[in-house]
Structures are given as structure tokens and as C-alpha cells.
Amino acid sequence: MHKSTALLTDMYELTMVESTLESGTASRKSVFEVFNRRLPSGRRYGVVAGTGRVLDEITRFTFSDDELSFLADNNVVSPKTIDWLANYKFTGDIYGYNEGEVFFPHSPIMTVTGTFAEAVVLETLILSILNHDSAVAAAASRMTIAAHGRPCLEMGARRTHERAAVSAARAAAVGGFTGTSVLEAGRAYGIPTIGTAAHSFTLVHDTEEEAFEAQISSMGPGTTLLVDTYDVTRGVERAVAAARKAGGELGAVRLDSGDLVAQAITVRRQLDQLGATSTKITVTSDLNEYAIAALGAAPVDSYGVGTKLVTGSGFPTAELVYKLVAREDASGTMKEVAKKSSQKASHGGLKVAGRISDLDGVAREELVVSAGSWEQGLAKLSDMDACPLQVPLVLGGEIQPRSTVQEAAEHHIASRNSLPYQAWRLSDGEPAIPTTMLDIFEGDDNPYEG
């Protein structure tokens, strides 16, 4: 039996349900929107990641006897609310950007429609997934840009929570990483797994030669040997010799310390002098996008990234929020609603988003339209030659076909490649393209009152 995700939420989601059940507003039709007001400092775009995980967790967002007993025993909510939760199943609609899509300030990357009560309880779960995964994917995207086509491999499990490590590996793959050290991520999402040996493996043997020979005996000469446990120059000599003794050419050497640029240049020269011209060099050691960019001129073939990747390279959240933007009033009329508070204002109304590109296919503008319905918004996007960005994720409570991790990664590369050149810069600056907010209904024509 699947494990419920219903208590992966803040208490006030349930107390709001209780209060709206009392006031009679729990069943009002409502529209919630996931967006951010600004990108983290230095980011030119965001990356949508975690959508597939959101859908998986929504299917498990039900209250079994265990969850209901906890709520009752701790007086979290009243028996009336517990009865309501006992029958909970999301029956609304969810639209969103494709996983892997780039986004900008005020992009409505996910829109949840349903009754107030059934939609509000999903807030914490949705935000916790999208904020984490989108932050990691954005960091991964910047790192793969800096790598200029050289493979990037995720190795951050030991630097984060054990379950977050699996999610981070998935998000990194969406952002362009080609492998992970986490076996559970390989099993769950089909991501290629990578890994050979750490310094402890060398140290447990009496000599470095014995360690290399043991690894090659087990994994073949095409393996990657860690050559900086002792002296790098001697390590490279022993690594190449051990592979040839086994009848092959060494696959790669790994450098994990010191001045990686200088080390890579020296090691490449040494490998070539030894005739090991096909042996590759992979580097690790606390890399981020800036360190990877600095290694651009060095003869490095791949990068292994851990801490900085799984922590969003300085920004562990995508700064996404989940806000009510429209709701039914007492007469059954839909009304736009929005926060007006300083620094945290939002825009009311259901949003339909599209992207405008020039004749060369380069994105130039994100257009976000407040409309009375999806159909009206899509018609306006068509009038303005904007390509729609949202797709149905859940309809009538039923999960729709979603992208695989591999498809999301492909979508991300295509989306990122459509951005103007400034999007690829690692320096601080404005978002790659501007976002234009447009309310297509004015005055008496506005189906929302307010």
C-alpha cells in the first residue's frame, strides 16, 4: 500500500479548510497559481522541474486512518473536518508549463483550479517539490552551459537529505546532467548511474598499485582511477601501467584536489607522453558553474558536481509562491483577487501564458494574459502570435500523460536554446526576456468583478 503524502503539509492548510467549512466558503470555485515575483540574484531564467513528482504525490495525497487518527488525537482539527478529509481526493484541474521549460518572473508555471478547500491543501506539497527541484535544475542548467558540451555528472547525495538526494538527481537530469551516483535515482527514473572508488579504497590497500590492479580486475581497464591519493604524477604512471598490464587502455583518471586547471594540463601532457591518448580526465572537488567555466580551456573531459548542485549553487529555493488569484463570490460570480501589499503584490485572474519569438525563432517576450477562461486566453495568444506554454496535467482529478525525465531534459535543452544570447551569461543581469502582463477584459467586459 502506498504511503500517504497528506501530512507533508503545513497545519494552517487544514485549519483554513476547517474555517471555510464553517463559513460556507470551502466549496467556492477557486484558481491558485504558482509563480515567482523575481528570479534569484544572478539568474537570467528559471527551469521548471519536479512536475512529475508533484503529480505522483497528488495521487498519494489521501487521508488514511493513520493520518486521521493523528489529527484527532492531537486536536488539530474538529471531527467535522476530519470527516471531510476522510473523503478527500483532488477532483479539479491543473495546468502548467512542461517540465524542463524555462520561466521568468510572473510566469504561471502551474495553475490549480477546484474548490477552495481541495486546492488550498495542496499548497505546501506543491511548493516544497517545485521550489527544491526547480532550484537544482536551474543550477544544473547553468553548469551544463558552463561545461560547453562536456558531460556533467551528479554526485551530491552525501551533501543533502537522503530523500532529497534522489529528487536532486532527478532535477539535475532535467537540467542537463547525464548521470548520477545515486542508485535509487537510477532505479526510479532511469538515469544512468556512475561511480568507481574513493580515496578510502586506495588507502585500504598496501600500495597504490595493488589498489589500481584490484579495481581494474573488478571493473576492467576502461574504469576511472582516482590518482591523487598520494602523488599525482606517480599515480598517473601507476594507473596507466595497471591498465596495460590487464591488456587494455585506461578509461579515465579522476582529479579531486589541488589546482584543477594546472593539474589537468599537466596530467594531459603526461598521459599523451605515456601514449595513453584515449584516456580521459574527469575532475571533481566542490565545483560550481564558475569553477566549471574556469576549467573551460583545460583539457578536461567531464565534471562531477556535488554540494553546489544539490543546494542550488547558492539558491536552494526557486522563490516560488502559491497564491489565490480568482474565486467565486456568494452569488456564484468569479472575481479576480490579488495581494496588494508592498513588495509582495500579485496579479489577479486566471493566467494563460505564451512566448513570442522573432523570425529566427529566438524568444523575445513572455506574454501572460489574465482571462476568463483558457479558451479566451489562448485566442488572445493566437492573435499576438505567441506560442502557448501551458499543458493539461490533471483534468477532473485524473492525471494526464506526463513527460519522462529524459523527455523533460530534451525539452529543457530546446527551450534554453531558444533564448537570446544574454540568457547564457553567468553574470548578474536582467531576465533573458521581459514578461508582459495583460488583462484582456476591461470594464463591463470583465467576467471577474474586482
The predicted-structure confidence for 47-67, as pLDDT tens digits, reads as follows 999 999 999 999 999 999 999
Burial class (CB in 10 A: 0-12, 13-18, 19+), 2: exposed
Pair 359, 19: CB distance under 8 Å = no
pLDDT at 442 over 90: no
Average pLDDT of every residue of the chain: 95
* Average pLDDT for 26-51: 95
Q: Collect all residues with Cβ–Cβ distance below 8 Å to 67 and sequence separation of at least 6.
A: 4, 6, 7, 85
Burial of 368 (0-12, 13-18, 19+ CB in 10 A): buried
Q: What percent of the chain has pLDDT over 90?
A: 92
Closest by Cα among 101, 72, 98 to 86 = 72
CA distances from 136 to 318, 332, 337, 403 (A): 9, 41, 31, 18
Mean pLDDT of 240-257: 97
Residue 338 Cα distances to 7, 32, 33, 420, angstroms: 28, 11, 11, 32
Domain limits, the chain? 11-136+315-347+389-422, 196-300
Q: Which runs of E-coded beta strand occur in 193-241?
A: 224-226
pLDDT tens digits, residue range 326-350?
999 999 999 999 877 666 667 899 9
Bridge partners (DSSP) of residue 323 are 33
Q: According to the model, what pLDDT value does residue 344 have?
A: 67
pTM: 0.95
Give the lowest-confidence range in 39-43, 115-119, 258-262.
39-43
CA-nearest of 50, 212, 61 to 131 is 50
CATH annotation of 196-300: 3.20.20.70
Q: Is 3.20.140.10 the CATH number for 11-136+315-347+389-422?
A: yes
| pLDDT confidence of residue 366 | 98
Report DSSP state, residue 307: H
The pLDDT of residue 448 is 40
Q: Are 138 and 275 in contact (CB under 8 A)?
A: no
